[in-house]
Structure 1
Amino acid sequence: MIKVGGIFAAVGIAAMLASLVSPALADPDNNQLIIEGELIVTDVAAPDSSPLDHIYSGWRFRSPETQSLQMDDFENPGFVAVDAAAETWETADGSEGKSCASCHEDVSSLAGLRAELPKWDEATNKPATMENLINRCRTDRMGAEAWGWEQKEMVNMTALISLQSRGMPVNIQTDGPMAEWMEKGKDLYYTRVGQLNMSCSNCHEDNYGNQIRSDHLSQGQINGFPVYRLKWAGLGSIHRRFKGCMENIRATPFKRGSDEFIALEAYVASRGAGLAVETPSVRN
């Protein structure tokens, strides 16, 4: 059950939404995302199960200045974190004296992983995120302490590993044991919460392409996470963004790494099936 921070009268909610959301000022542009000579897919036909006709990467809703930062790895501010993680990858840590490279050798061996996460994990009987997998390696194989969800080393490492899948289409399992989690995530996506009585779908399905306050609403796709947000002046995880959205509508957010946010991550990832992994992306 989602915790609610309070309710407004229906009339008050309608008035507030009318004041926050303006008519469409900019639909997704037709620019192409090309990085290091590779065309990154930023729009695809929506799958049959989608409520949308077409799906677009958040990159297509950004200003030309922000878009250009992501088109050049040298200019992309997220690569400072990637470079730091590359050093961590080779550094031994924990009681076993192992580094990430001790088992996985080159990080490129993990190409494709980001595109299929979260995925079912038999060991825990629930979906695993990138953060879950990293911490399992640290505690079970390296004898090292687990990293915090938003700890710098964790976010940096998720960016480095995710980069290996850049250009690959998002393709996560939605059936079998994942089906129940997809339904849970879908329920969370469409449930109105908080003082503003809003759901994820109110912004990212009903109003994408519109302005809300000073922000240009996208479809809320997560194929670029972890993302470098200019607002944050650094990288942040998917769950950090979920938490921020819930706080914006004055709802009590779930914890990063909670079952609720993992289910929501899985469902939102499935909504972007076919879009290419963009990590590290750059957003406002």
Structure 2
Amino acid sequence: MKKLLPFYFFSCLCLLLIACQSVEVSAASGSSKKQSSYELMTAENKAMQDDPTLNPAMFWVGDGEALWNAKPSTNKSSCAGCHQDAKKTMRGVAAHFPKVVNRKLQTLEGQINQCREGRQDLPKLAYESKDLLALTAFIAIQSKGMPIAVKETSANREALKTGRQWFYERMGQLNLSCAQCHEERAGLKLGGSLIPQGHPNAYPIYRLEWQTLGSVQRRLRNCMSGVRAEQFEYGSPEMAQLELFLMWRARGMPLEAPGVRP
């Protein structure tokens, strides 16, 4: 009997490892079905996102509407002066960004700043500034419920390829890639919380952890910091490329912006 004990414990260990691997394989194979991280939230947090009177992000939407209609001090036209009623002209716009505009890959925030500089003679708004988040949230909410429509084209093909490489490339002192968490281990737990698939369909979001609204680029920088990697700069080509791939990866999912997350 004593001779059998080491073999018994070795067999149990092997079975445990096989079981753990099966859980990971199951989670990874299940990730082929696109799932919003909304589905992983508590009923209370879902209600906060769903009810405009409870969603804190609506304060930014209101500020964005005011900025949309405000005539700039440069005597140039307001956003509304060119684009008229955002409910009509901005419907579906957020579902197509990032996109190539004048041979440059632009995020929605980048396009807002391009309009400010080129059309209104106004300075760019800083990333994560209240005004840029407000305008982004106001434009994004016009497409709420619409499917993400980012497609691969001849114009964005190289940027999309590079964004895909960023998603699968291991980085930082922890030597982890985006895919290792959000594809291979999606649905498993990390620190007691379920790992989401990492889709950007609700940005900008009000994150309870942040106690404010934030962009997808802020979240990406948080992840890079978490794996102890050098962070991409806000508004950089690398950020736009990675955001493009993430939106392409989430194509067909309905936009929830502005969302709420823990």
Separation in 1, partners of 2:195, 2:151? 27
| Cα contact 1:166–1:279 (8 A) shared by 2 | yes
1:255 positional shift:
0.3
Q: Which aligned segments of 4 or more residues in structure 1 are displaced greater than 4 angstroms?
A: none
State the partner residue of 2:3.
Answer: none
| Secondary structure of 1:255 counterpart | coil
Q: State the AA in 2 paired with 1:157.
A: L
Separation in 1, partners of 2:86, 2:255? 16
Q: State the AA in 2 paired with 1:271.
A: R
State the partner residue of 1:88.
Answer: 67
State the partner residue of 1:265.
Answer: 243
1:175 positional shift:
2.4
| Secondary structure of 1:77 counterpart | coil
Tell me: CA distance 1:70–1:144, structure 2 relative to 1, closer, same or farther (3 Å).
same
The total of aligned residue pairs comes to: 238
| Cα contact 2:150–2:251 (8 A) shared by 1 | yes
| Cα contact 1:225–1:278 (8 A) shared by 2 | yes
1:61 positional shift:
1.3
Q: Which of 174, 199, 203 in structure 2 is aligned with 1:225?
A: 203
Q: State the AA in 1 paired with 2:96.
A: E
Encode CA deviations 1:161-216: one digit per residue, 9 max, x unaligned.
Answer: 00000111001121212111111011000011111110001111011112212432
1:239 positional shift:
0.7
| Secondary structure of 1:54 counterpart | coil
Encode CA deviations 1:207-253: one digit per residue, 9 max, x unaligned.
Answer: 11122124321100001111110011111011111101000111110
State the partner residue of 1:18.
Answer: none
1:52 positional shift:
4.5
Q: Which of 139, 147, 152 in structure 2 is aligned with 1:174?
A: 152
Encode CA deviations 1:45-83: one digit per residue, 9 max, x unaligned.
Answer: xxxxx9952101110111222111111111111101101
Q: Which of 133, 138, 146 in structure 1 is aligned with 2:124?
A: 146
State the partner residue of 2:15.
Answer: none
Q: Which of 117, 131, 139 in structure 1 is aligned with 2:97?
A: 117
Question: What percent of counterpart residues are identical?
Answer: 34
| Secondary structure of 1:167 counterpart | coil
Tell me: CA distance 1:222–1:258, structure 2 relative to 1, closer, same or farther (3 Å).
same
State the partner residue of 2:187.
Answer: 209
Q: Which runs of 5+ in 2 are unaligned?
A: 1-19
Q: State the AA in 2 paired with 1:181.
A: A
| Cα contact 1:111–1:165 (8 A) shared by 2 | yes
Q: State the AA in 1 paired with 2:90.
A: L
Higher helix proportion? 2
Determine if the alignment matches structure 1 residue 70 to structure 2 residue 55.
no
Q: Which of 165, 175, 183 in structure 1 is aligned with 2:143?
A: 165
Q: State the AA in 1 paired with 2:158.
A: E
1:256 positional shift:
1.0
Segment drifting more, 219-228 vs 208-217: 208-217
Higher strand proportion? 1
Separation in 2, partners of 1:235, 1:253? 20
| Cα contact 2:95–2:143 (8 A) shared by 1 | yes
State the partner residue of 1:41.
Answer: none
| Secondary structure of 1:187 counterpart | helix
RMSD, aligned CA:
2.1
Q: State the AA in 2 paired with 1:119.
A: K
Separation in 2, partners of 1:66, 1:239? 22
